Amino acid sequence: MATTTFEAVRAEALFVSNLQCSQAPKSDEIRAAVASTLRRIGIKGCAAQVAGEFGDHPDTAVARMAWALALVRSTYPARRNAPRSVRLLARSA
C-alpha cells in the first residue's frame, strides 16, 4: 500500500509524540497527539526528529514507524473518492 503525504506527515508526528506503543492509545488520543506535535514543532521539526532517530537508533525507529503508520491508517481512513475538482482535473489532462 502506498503512503500518502498526509499519512507520512501524521505518522512522523505520532512517531515523535509522547505516546508510547505500550499505551494502546485510542483514536482521540492519536488525533490529539498528532495535532499538538504538529503545532509544537511543525512538519519540518517532525521530519528532522524522525531522521535523527533513524540515524541514532535504526532498529527501534523502524518498529516505532511501523506502529505509527498502522495507527495513522486506522485513525484517519483513506478517502475512497477523490474530490470532484480532482476528478474534473484528471479528466481534462
Comparing 2-6, 17-21, 48-52, the range with the smallest average pLDDT is: 2-6
Per-residue model confidence (pLDDT) at position 92: 45
pLDDT, tens only, 52-73? 999 999 999 999 999 999 999 9
Domain extent, residue 36, equals: 5-92
pLDDT band at 93 (very low <50, low <70, confident <90, very high): very low
Name the residue among 67, 79, 75, 69 with its Cα closest to residue 31: 75
Q: Which of 2, 5, 1, 19 is nearest to 71 (CA)?
A: 19
Q: Is the pLDDT of residue 91 over 60?
A: no
Q: Rounded to whole angstroms, how far apart are CA atoms 35 and 69? A: 15
pLDDT value at residue 77: 84
| Structural domain total, the chain | 1
pTM of the entire predicted model: 0.81
